[in-house]
Chain A
């Protein structure tokens, strides 16, 4: 059988133009856009501004809020758990702190809760897949922290706030900028292997929308290296983790506090009642909902469960009228479609080019602006169409070797090189084809500086939370986010636990939610959270029987 080997002929012809113009393109860079130009291109080409991608929510505390259709669908579905099926008189796990999600935020929260005095056997991490199966593990480019003399946390704050179109909660943006250097220091103490110069200073690159070079990286496995370290630390401390047991709904008590959750064992179909004095939601994002029909860079479990559960108990949401599409998802070859090619590639100097080999955008605009520019170029017919009909533009990776010397790509982008090599593409010699892909949930459950939600006993940290990034997140601020707010949630939840008293457990909020749906005249055919996406072949699903 034929295996895909490199690029087909018609693409090679376009690559020839890219090669011919490479020197010229390097010497004549495209300038960054003005604020007005940014607004214009966003309003015309970004899905956040398109008709038909969003609608008003009809139920709950945020009734009337405009959200992406895929999220409204789940918020207007009936809760997946029927309270009648659950016996709350038998408690399977009785803990001080329940952490829902075993990714970056959840693990960091556990470490700091332990450090703040909660004994390890009174902490429980429950997670849908394995400990560490999370978007945190996949982050490639790096983590921002203003630690160079040319830089400072105030400039970092300005970048976060401007990048988020001035919609962030300022106190959260401040926490992110000011806590950042402390996080890098904590990582050093754990043993994270950052890329350094010979004198020990960090190698720091620029990212889209950052005014100083402050991207710390661990090759292009930054998230993996950080996650490996914090997970190893949690394992050394023997912090209990329940894997393949996602929480399906939160528990409340008769005083209106969140009091734990009901977990569902994916392999035995049993439920477990977990009572907790405090609960941290660290369930991550929702890329697997494929909002606006985009492919996604996200891991298999990113189905937005945390948003749904939190909304069922009355927490409020922010900024879910925006999604982050990352400009450089892979467009070719087909098995890689939607997978990320890190922003670090542009940080190192590669420029996006159309099929004629011409540049059309400053390579390091904020992600939404960069994405919109790529979409525009393709809509105007200046992109390449792949054999499966996917549009894309070139990202001229060989430029990196011209700027930084031969061998740079192999050492700085090992993961990327490996990925393309499988398909006969040598990115040090040939450009790669990219198109925007669904990457990050900008908004989420509203939190404050202490990561508290509006419901007592419920904290949230990481991608599931909202307000930190406003309506657009910058590169390198999500690895930072889960560390900064994971840490804060562990510390503040530990403080809360000391005074908290749990009353009688209840799931009555789910009955109330069902009544609310009825009252709003919503015929809820589906249920939510969905826990895992459905990717089985149509033929297989259409013939499936529910008899076993």
Chain B
């Protein structure tokens, strides 16, 4: 590669304003109605912090896994309400926003060992799913883009496996339950479906059962104890020379 080509891979020099400071574009957001100017490009979460808010509620993993920071917003002059996670959504100009600190939604209680996965199991614990009016508001409010209404329909029909599959990426933020006109607690419904499938419907591993027997019979105890007592050089040697499965695979050009 020649020099000219190399230069093409470099980031262009930043534009600087007259007083030699980096120019930061700011936008206006309304946090629960109050106006703040924040730098463009921040997530809603970081924008609130920039403005001076210190989170207690409404902030968890900060990476889209925990569902603590569900946020409702509407942009000025827009009809549509938006739903998203504050840690994932980037702020937009003239955004009015509020966070949902808590979702009141009671979970059914059950002993997973004592229930059976039948067509009506989910309905027994969550009879309100039968009241679904198929408005699809749950799906529209899901920040994970899960087809929420579809899995509720599967649950009504007793298709536990499919309900579990469609709902798998649910982060349990509860926005669906807060929007549902039929008062369904979708994210609790699908939790039950997934546990039923995992426990009763998926075929179990024979290898695992075999290994558990071996461990119970203390098959590996002596070998491990021997390694625990080895001197550093000896164990290092064994470690160095161990066969690596992933490497063998790449040799085979899989």
Q: Which of A147, A188, A198, A300 contacts B61 (CB 8 A)?
A: A300
Check A185/B63 contact, CB under 8 A, given A191-B194, A213-B246: no
Interface centre among B9, B40, B110, B249 (most CB of A within 10 A): B9
A405 within 8 A of B: no
Q: Which of B25, B27, B65, B254 contacts A224 (CB 8 A)?
A: B65
* Contact yes or no, B11 A385, CB < 8 A: yes
Q: Kindly state the separation between the CA atoms of A178 and B59 in the bound complex, as whole angstroms.
A: 37
B contact residues around A145 at 8 Å (CB): 208
* Contact yes or no, B9 A191, CB < 8 A: no
Q: Kindly state the separation between the CA atoms of A274 and B239 in the bound complex, as whole angstroms.
A: 47
Check A148/B246 contact, CB under 8 A, given A137-B61, A236-B110, A244-B56: no
A contact residues around B204 at 8 Å (CB): 188, 200
A56 within 8 A of B: no
* Contact yes or no, B202 A384, CB < 8 A: no
* Contact yes or no, B59 A300, CB < 8 A: yes
Nearest A-chain residue to B93, judged by Cβ = A1
Interface centre among A170, A244, A418, A535 (most CB of B within 10 A): A535
Interface centre among B52, B164, B220, B227 (most CB of A within 10 A): B220
Q: Kindly state the separation between the CA atoms of A182 and B171 in the bound complex, as whole angstroms.
A: 27
* Contact yes or no, A1 B9, CB < 8 A: no
Q: Kindly state the separation between the CA atoms of A384 and B204 in the bound complex, as whole angstroms.
A: 46
* Contact yes or no, B202 A193, CB < 8 A: yes
Q: How many A-B residue pairs have CB under 8 A?
A: 262
Check A148/B224 contact, CB under 8 A, given A191-B194, A297-B63: no
Tell me the smallest distance from the CB of A223 to a CB of chain B, in Å.
8
B51 within 8 A of A: yes
B212 within 8 A of A: yes
Check A199/B203 contact, CB under 8 A, given A35-B236, A387-B11, A422-B88: yes
Nearest A-chain residue to B237, judged by Cβ = A35
* Contact yes or no, B66 A244, CB < 8 A: no
How many chain A residues sit at the interface, stated as a range, is 35 or more
Binds B, one of A156-164, A463-471, A505-513: A156-164
A contact residues around B194 at 8 Å (CB): 191, 193, 225, 228
Q: Kindly state the separation between the CA atoms of A161 and B225 in the bound complex, as whole angstroms.
A: 13
Can you list 14 A-B contacts with CB-CB less than 8 angstroms, sorted by A residue number?
A: A137-B66, A149-B210, A153-B220, A174-B225, A181-B215, A185-B212, A191-B194, A191-B198, A200-B206, A232-B191, A244-B57, A339-B62, A418-B169, A422-B89
* Contact yes or no, A27 B253, CB < 8 A: yes
A117 within 8 A of B: no
Tell me the smallest distance from the CB of B106 to a CB of chain A, in Å.
10
Q: Kindly state the separation between the CA atoms of A267 and B107 in the bound complex, as whole angstroms.
A: 24
A130 within 8 A of B: yes
Q: Kindly state the separation between the CA atoms of A3 and B54 in the bound complex, as whole angstroms.
A: 26
Consensus secondary structure, chain B interface: loop
A65 within 8 A of B: no
Binds A, one of B42-50, B132-140, B147-155: B42-50
* Contact yes or no, B63 A267, CB < 8 A: no
Q: Which of B49, B50, B54, B191 contacts A228 (CB 8 A)?
A: B191
A360 within 8 A of B: no
Q: Kindly state the separation between the CA atoms of A499 and B196 in the bound complex, as whole angstroms.
A: 39
How many chain B residues sit at the interface, stated as a range, is 35 or more
B64 within 8 A of A: yes
Q: Kindly state the separation between the CA atoms of A133 and B49 in the bound complex, as whole angstroms.
A: 19
Tell me the smallest distance from the CB of A264 to a CB of chain B, in Å.
11
Check A161/B239 contact, CB under 8 A, given A174-B228, A178-B215, A185-B208: yes
Q: Kindly state the separation between the CA atoms of A189 and B88 in the bound complex, as whole angstroms.
A: 34
Check A155/B242 contact, CB under 8 A, given A35-B236, A190-B195, A236-B112: yes
- A382-397: CB near B (< 8 Å → 1, else 0) gives 0011110000000000
* Contact yes or no, B224 A153, CB < 8 A: yes
Q: Kindly state the separation between the CA atoms of A339 and B93 in the bound complex, as whole angstroms.
A: 25
Check A13/B240 contact, CB under 8 A, given A185-B212, A193-B168, A221-B169: no
- A215-231: CB near B (< 8 Å → 1, else 0) gives 00011010111001100
B contact residues around A201 at 8 Å (CB): 205-207
Nearest B-chain residue to A423, judged by Cβ = B90
Tell me the smallest distance from the CB of B138 to a CB of chain A, in Å.
18
Q: Kindly state the separation between the CA atoms of A135 and B171 in the bound complex, as whole angstroms.
A: 14
* Contact yes or no, A202 B208, CB < 8 A: yes
